[in-house]
Amino acid sequence: MSFRTKDKTMQILSVLKEANKVKKMDRDKESKKKRPIRSACVVVPTFNEANNIKLVLDRIAQNRDEEELKDIKLMTLVVDDSSPDGTADIVRECMKNDKDIHLLSRAEKEGLGAAYIAGMKYSMETLDPDVILEMDADLSHDPADIPRLLRAIKDGADFAIGSRYVKGGSIPKNWGFHRVLISKSANLYTRMILGIKKIQDCTGGFRAIHTSVFDKVDLDLLNVKGYAFQISLLHATNRFGFKITEIPIHFAERNAGKSKIQMSDMIELGLSVLRLRIGTPKVHTHIRRQYAAPMRLEK
């Protein structure tokens, strides 16, 4: 190889190296772009949570003082299934001092999934948030983790799961062997049957979802009313190729009261996973229809 040819080769390599450097800078710049979030709504289903709901609402509101949420309007929509213990009355008292708390009262108890579907639909129709969050009303989910879930959406995720089973996540130390076995077995069963192997916590109920997901995922067609809603929504979101991420959280024992999970919920969950595996219903045409139980939105 002549000196001139060698010199030209070096020049070409130098140009290519510089071009790759520019491309990398562009990619880095693109990755640092934040997705804007104007507002977010935390949907909290309740049934007999009078001993917990005020503390939950107060803890959610505390996030508004966080630097990361200073430009985000953070709202809460409580979906109450006519709790006989006066949960809704406590929410109404809180609403007097906080205009960003809303109450959706339903005439009867129809299950967790039905409550979430009703709450998410009303949230999008009346409050117009960029992000909807799911959270339990018993403080097993720490409201202080809300900014971390929203940060994941800002960073480009469409669906962020507060995960008990990724590195850094945890469950209560006092959970007995059988409870741990049931929880982990349900997750493993779901992951294997539905092929969602990258997600460690498929049944977790602490989530942040960008509302663009619901441009394709029709809540009405998920066809579940109980705890299986969590799996059906995750499966539909995954099928459409949305970006799903997991954020480690500590899942605590409920603050007060008893768990609402019944054996019928576990059976529905197991059967729903099989139905989804055999043949997933259509989930792309968005139809706004009401559930049978009458509802009343209180602002």
Read off the CATH number of the domain in which 99 is found: 3.90.550.10
d(CA 86, CA 51): 10
Contact indicator for 139, 59 with CB cutoff of 8 Å: yes
d(CA 68, CA 87): 31
Q: What is the pLDDT of residue 261?
A: 57
Of the candidate ranges 51-55, 157-161, 237-241, 257-261, the one whose mean pLDDT is the lowest: 257-261
| Domain annotation covers residue 107 | yes
Q: Give the type of residue at 275.
A: R
Q: What is the pLDDT of residue 193?
A: 87
Residue 124 belongs to what domain range? 34-298
Length of the chain measured in residues: 299
Neighbours of 47 (CB within 10 A): 20
Contact indicator for 205, 135 with CB cutoff of 8 Å: yes
| Domain annotation covers residue 16 | no
Q: Is residue 22 very low, low, confident or very high in pLDDT (cuts 50, 70, 90)?
A: low
Average pLDDT over residues 76-84: 97
Q: What is the pLDDT of residue 299?
A: 60
Q: Is residue 238 very low, low, confident or very high in pLDDT (cuts 50, 70, 90)?
A: very high
Query: Quick check: 54 pLDDT over 50?
Result: yes
Q: What is the pLDDT of residue 182?
A: 79
- Is residue 280 left, alpha or beta, with left meaning phi > 0 and alpha meaning psi from -120 to 50? beta
Q: What is the pLDDT of residue 34?
A: 84
Specify which residues 171 forms β-bridges with. none
d(CA 183, CA 266): 10
The chain-wide mean pLDDT, for the chain, equals 84
- Give the residue with greater pLDDT, 277 vs 65: 65
CA distances from 257 to 85, 147, 219 (A): 11, 27, 29
Of the candidate ranges 52-61, 130-139, 256-265, 273-282, the one whose mean pLDDT is the lowest: 256-265
| Domain annotation covers residue 8 | no
Average pLDDT over residues 11-25: 63
Query: Where is mean pLDDT largest: 54-58, 69-73, 258-262?
Result: 54-58
Residues 265-287 pLDDT 10s? 566 667 777 777 777 544 443 33
Residues 101-121 pLDDT 10s? 999 999 988 889 999 999 999
Q: What is the pLDDT of residue 27?
A: 46
**What three-state secondary structure class fits 84?**
coil
Which tokens hold the place of 185?
Answer: 């077995």
d(CA 20, CA 173): 50
Handedness of CA 296, 89, 102, 232 (dihedral sign): negative
Over pLDDT 90: what percentage of the chain? 56
**What three-state secondary structure class fits 119?**
helix
| Domain annotation covers residue 14 | no
Query: Quick check: 225 pLDDT over 80?
Result: no
Contacts of residue 1, Cβ cutoff 8 Å, sequence gap at least 6: 9
Token pair 């009355």 in the structure block, residue: 89
| Domain annotation covers residue 283 | yes
d(CA 130, CA 51): 30
The gap between the terminal CA atoms of the chain, to the nearest Å, is: 80
- As a whole number of angstroms, the longest Cα–Cα distance in the chain is 91
Q: What is the pLDDT of residue 289?
A: 37
| Domain annotation covers residue 17 | no
| Domain annotation covers residue 233 | yes
Structural domain count of the chain: 1
| Domain annotation covers residue 171 | yes
Q: Give the type of residue at 142.
A: D
